[in-house]
Structure 1
Amino acid sequence: MSNSSAGRETWATRIGFILAAVGSAVGLGNIWRFPFQVGQNGGAAFVIMYLAFVVLIGFPAMMVEFVVGRKTGLNAVGGIREFAGGRWKYLGGLFVFIGFVILSYYSVVGGWVLRYVLGSATGRYMAQGPGEYFGQISVGMDALLAHAVFMLLVIGIVALGVKRGIEIAVKIMVPAIIAIFAVLAVYAFTLSGAGEAYSYYLSPDLGYLLDNWQSIVPAAAGQGFFTLSLGMGVMITYASYLSEDENLAIDGGTVVVFNTGISILTGLIVFPILFTAGVDPAAPGPGAIFVSVAEALGDLQFGRLIGVLFFTTVAIAALSSAISLIEVVVSYAIDEFGIARERATVFIGTAIFLLGAPVTIDIVMVDLYDIFAAQILLVLGGILLVTAVAWIYADKAIDELGKGVKSFSGLDKVWLWIVRIPVLVVLLVSLYLGIDGFIEFLQGDFAEFLNSL
């Protein structure tokens, strides 16, 4: 361990850290959020912008968080305070708040996934009708109870600790996600609509991209930060358990490759299923992946079995990400206030459950929380952290990034200027567009919801 406080937990193995970071990145953002973002933003036009953002912006930004975490060996609040000075502690507080907000509605969606695992096994949503089934389980007492069950699973894993809980869980979860999705991708390739789906998903319409970049850019930026678990303190927290001999660039690159691969693989599964069943991939709203995929599975041979495999994998991915989000807040409570892990996890998990309860009132609340958190707060946190690390305390960052690496050959300076200018400019533009989109949402869909009460 580097500068961590005495007695603080560490990863048992390097692969444990990588799988935990991959598990954090590979979650509902990839499997629930990515397909409906692709559908709402022009198919491959969004995909190409998302890939560019992940490689050119997301990876360098991830190194910023890794540097802070390993340098200080502390949680998001303590780490940023120690790295950049006392006045920056409020940025760490923002990260803790972001993770808190995201998990509150993420858990509600995780509850939906658990219900769909059961619904696939029993065939209930196929018999009842996907739209009607989703309408029943996505709001009200059914959604609230499923939200509670999901949070209890998360609390149980994190309360066991870094080695006995998080690391063991992700060593099982992440390989399971990859294995099951590989099988499903091969199956999707055999479907009659696969060719049309691949064209929609992999052949970008550059004209559409140029005409709609104002909406695609913030969506891609938010998706990239969301799926890489950036701007919420997760990577700071996980890197704080690392030793100095680890190569941060290799570890970060591994996380990015696995995360992006799972996102692309998800599309190779979902869109052939939708096109084969004649379902519109641009169906709006966060419930589209549930309704559309469920509807499509009902028309396919072995649809019930495929449904069980698909939604079980989504559930595993949801849990792997959720445990990283709550760990940000739990590690803060442990480091800053000396609260025992079990007690901190139960208290924080309960508070997150209560914050997420309003999301079960109406599905529009998912959009409210998601747009505010993913397109505004995440990007804002990234801007502030990049400013502190790359502009104000660059010498510290370069020194820490070089540990565990034999020779940079000038790449450290390249990384620094990429973060200083292109990354910062893209984030600033994305924040402006994200705020504009959020205002439009408040004046449109959310206003309609309030008027209907």
Structure 2
Amino acid sequence: MADRETWATRPGFVLAAIGSAVGLGNLWQFPFKTATNGGAAFVVFYLLAVALIGFPAMLAEFVLGRRTHVNAVDAFERLGHRQWRAVGALAVLTGFWILSYYNVVGGWVLRYVLGSARGAYFGDPAGYFGAVSAGPEAVLAQALFLALVVGIVSLGVEDGIETATKLMVPSILLLMVALAVWVTTLPGAGAGYDFFLSPDLGEMVANAGSIIPFAVGQAFFTLSLGMAIMVTYSSYVGGDDNLVVDGGAIVVTNTLVGVLAGLVVFPILLTIGAEITTESGGAGALFVATAAGFGSVPFGRLFGVVFFGVVLIAALSSAISLLEVTVAYANDNYDVPRTVLAPVIGVGLFVLGLPSAWDTGWLTWFDSVAYQLFLPLSVLATTIFVGWVLGADAVAELREGTGGLGAGGSAWLWTLRVVVVVAVLATLALGINELFLVEDGAFFAPF
């Protein structure tokens, strides 16, 4: 096994974890899922999911990683529970699955940064998306984005991931704040804020069954849970770090960026009179609508470059964390340098992502399987292990570096055991129903 790296600094770990969380999950998925799942009603369920399920589950993954200092698969064996290795394998598989189509969307973003600079999509936003989102051009863009990700991860934990995210995360925050200030000047800002921030109680109650799985899935996706990322990143952490404080900083910053994304996107969409309903969804809906918005407002070309530039930075910060999961597993088990492992794994990701790059119907299917099946199942299994099998040892690990949690440790443990487990079980059941049973009784398919 190759020598294992660590973070150079505690802020390096926090920024890397924030960078993982603050990615396309916030800047693409969050507005997309909000627009297609009830607007502000979705936001309410999402915020509840982050606070009641996401944060406790994140601490569970932190505990698992720091206590073992190995990858997500071998962590269970190191704790004396080899039979639970399948849980870690599921998390690694989930991350690999998500990254395969995440790279495709990253390729879209690359094209939109260039397209914004040239004003290429202003005349026909829908036609431009159709040209860049599927087929040979999308395959090439996917390969270019993936090459950037592989290059960063090949440099290592400290020189590659930590250095990159120290630059990326502050840039994302500053640029998103600047964009949020700019959109206040748009004529559709008020309507956009209303759609995003004013929930309809009746709609929340009536559509809770269909909204909740996506809200909880969004919480998992945007907090990088269920993909072995937080287990992997925390395995590089020392015992004196306060996991509760670090986790809180990650959750708060991640949620802030998601809210900022909504405050930027929806005023733009309402300014141009875009339809943002459950019927207007689709993986590329917000690319098309946002591009149309930049083509219709003053200084649209400049702000288009800034917006899609931010999305690109965020996409890279998350993609490197997803790739690091598989690289960490291989690096822990085989005497092969990461400069070889990252490109080899990258080839596998490229092949798995080809269907998503060739047709957006497949990308939507891959995304639905991840949200409604893999993510909740992975989080559920990890939570059961940490809460019910590791138990008191998990509380002891969480207390390291905190100066003592008092009764808070027991409260966290029982939150995992009862609140999180029950909530994720319900979410998984609703998600499976949504995924496999459609109105005519047929099984869900990409087309």
Supply the distance in 2 between the matched residues of 1:441 and 1:352 (Cα, whole angstroms). Answer: 30
Quick check: 2:134–2:359 contact (8 Å CA) kept in 1? yes
TM superposition shift of 1:405: 1.2
Match of 1:134 in 2: 129
**What amino acid does structure 2 have at the position aligned with 1:301?**
P
TM superposition shift of 1:232: 0.7
Match of 2:329 in 1: 332
Instruction: Tell me which moved more, 191-200 or 216-225.
Output: 191-200
TM superposition shift of 1:6: 8.7
Quick check: 2:436–2:443 contact (8 Å CA) kept in 1? no
**What amino acid does structure 2 have at the position aligned with 1:336?**
N
Matched, 1:30 2:26: yes
TM superposition shift of 1:446: 5.8
Deviations 1:131-180 (A, max 9, x none): 00101111000000000000000000000000100000000111110111
TM superposition shift of 1:296: 1.3
Matched, 1:420 2:441: no
Match of 1:369 in 2: 366
TM superposition shift of 1:84: 5.3
Supply the distance in 1 between the matched residues of 2:386 and 2:57 (Cα, whole angstroms). Answer: 10
Matched, 1:381 2:378: yes
Match of 1:70 in 2: 66
Match of 2:91 in 1: 95
Match of 1:289 in 2: 286
Match of 1:233 in 2: 228
Q: How many pairs does the alignment contain?
A: 444
Quick check: 2:72–2:329 contact (8 Å CA) kept in 1? yes
Supply the distance in 2 between the matched residues of 1:192 and 1:285 (Cα, whole angstroms). Answer: 26
Matched, 1:203 2:198: yes
Supply the distance in 2 between the matched residues of 1:379 and 1:309 (Cα, whole angstroms). Answer: 34
Identity %: 51
Report the 3-state secondary structure (helix = DSSP H, G, I; strand = E; otherwise coil) of the residue aligned with 1:125: coil
Deviations 1:254-291 (A, max 9, x none): 00001000000000000011111111122211101100
1:432 aligned residue (429, 434, 438): 429
1:258 aligned residue (246, 250, 253): 253
Q: Classify 1:357/1:344 alpha carbon distance in 2 versus 1 (closer, same or farther; 3 Å).
A: same
Detail structure 1 runs of 4+ shifted over 3 Å in the superposition.
440-448
Match of 1:104 in 2: 100
Deviations 1:202-225 (A, max 9, x none): 111111010001111100011000
Match of 2:301 in 1: 304
TM superposition shift of 1:80: 2.5
Supply the distance in 2 between the matched residues of 1:433 and 1:321 (Cα, whole angstroms). Answer: 27
Supply the distance in 1 between the matched residues of 2:143 and 2:133 (Cα, whole angstroms). Answer: 13
Match of 2:55 in 1: 59
Q: Classify 1:440/1:120 alpha carbon distance in 2 versus 1 (closer, same or farther; 3 Å).
A: farther
RMSD: 1.4
Supply the distance in 1 between the matched residues of 2:95 and 2:112 (Cα, whole angstroms). Answer: 25
Alignment TM-score, normalising by the size of structure 1: 0.96
Alignment TM-score, normalising by the size of structure 2: 0.97
**What amino acid does structure 1 have at the position aligned with 2:380?**
I
Report the 3-state secondary structure (helix = DSSP H, G, I; strand = E; otherwise coil) of the residue aligned with 1:209: helix
Unaligned runs of 5+ in 1: none
Unaligned runs of 5+ in 2: none
Deviations 1:376-413 (A, max 9, x none): 10100111111111011102101100100112121000
**What amino acid does structure 2 have at the position aligned with 1:330?**
V
TM superposition shift of 1:360: 1.7
TM superposition shift of 1:115: 0.3
Report the 3-state secondary structure (helix = DSSP H, G, I; strand = E; otherwise coil) of the residue aligned with 1:271: helix
